[in-house]
């Protein structure tokens, strides 16, 4: 009888231990989803600002149609990538596609702002100044949200990969999450240095 009680006690401890690990993994996965929801809010705000920015610039930059179209195209691509990533923030392919789309959008916006420097009236336009400030503020919020998301992903992945949690994670098919890395093309280019 005592050996049966000891056996049942050991089984109960193992079950409670497994339930604890499972619940921790669920909590960590939900933190990842919540962190991505914050990125979603900021990116959606950014995407909503861009058409207004393009409209404000359009009158001044009539000869720069390609640049304006590139911004709109990059924005639309980023919106569709965000929609795909929203369905499963742990999906590595969706995160990579979103990161690439965001990098292309940042690059297109950078070209637009660089080009706007050639138009003194546009540079002084209050709408343009306001859009630049709002986009800059939003970019900072995106960066903070992305850092929080990547921290949540790191915590979740560590919990899922650490021994003995990895047994529970594998049994219940907790897939590892992917980091969101947004890199502008300009950061990858090697700067030209000339001493002449």
Quick: pLDDT tens for 79-127: 999 999 988 888 888 999 999 999 999 999 888 888 877 777 776 777 7
Q: What is the pLDDT of residues 125-184, one digit of tens each?
A: 777 778 888 888 888 999 999 999 999 999 999 999 999 999 999 999 998 998 988 765
Q: Across residues 46-54, what is the average pLDDT?
A: 87
**Is 188 inside any structural domain?**
no
Number of domains the chain is built from:
1
**Which of 45, 34, 181, 186 lies closest to 101 in space, CA to CA?**
181
| pLDDT score at 184 | 58
181: left (phi > 0), else alpha (psi -120 to 50), else beta? beta
Range of the domain at 54: 20-178
Mean pLDDT of the chain: 85
Tell me if 164 is assigned to some domain. Answer: yes
Residue 131 inside a domain? The answer is yes
- Domain contains 75: yes
- Residue 16: phi and psi, rounded to 5, are -65, -40
Q: Percent of the chain beyond pLDDT 90?
A: 48
Q: What is the CATH number of the domain that holds 152?
A: 1.20.1440.20
């Amino acid at each position: 009888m005592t050996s049966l009680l000891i056996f049942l006690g050991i089984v109960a401890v193992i079950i409670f231990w497994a339930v604890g690990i499972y619940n921790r993994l669920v909590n960590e996965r939900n933190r990842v989803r919540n962190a991505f929801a914050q990125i979603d809010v900021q990116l959606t705000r950014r995407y909503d600002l861009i058409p207004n920015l393009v409209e404000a610039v359009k009158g001044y930059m009539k000869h720069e149609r390609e640049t304006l179209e590139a911004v709109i195209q990059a924005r639309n691509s980023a919106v569709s990538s965000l929609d795909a990533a929203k369905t499963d923030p742990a999906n590595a392919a969706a995160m990579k596609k979103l990161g690439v789309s965001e990098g292309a959008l940042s690059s297109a916006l950078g070209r637009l702002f660089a080009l706007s420097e050639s138009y003194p009236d546009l540079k002084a336009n209050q709408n343009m100044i306001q859009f630049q400030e709002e986009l800059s503020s939003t970019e900072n919020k995106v960066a903070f949200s992305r850092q929080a998301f990547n921290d949540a992903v790191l915590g979740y992945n560590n919990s899922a990969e650490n021994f003995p949690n990895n047994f529970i994670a594998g049994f219940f098919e907790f897939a590892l999450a992917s980091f969101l890395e947004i890199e502008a093309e300009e950061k990858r280019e090697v700067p030209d240095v000339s001493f002449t």
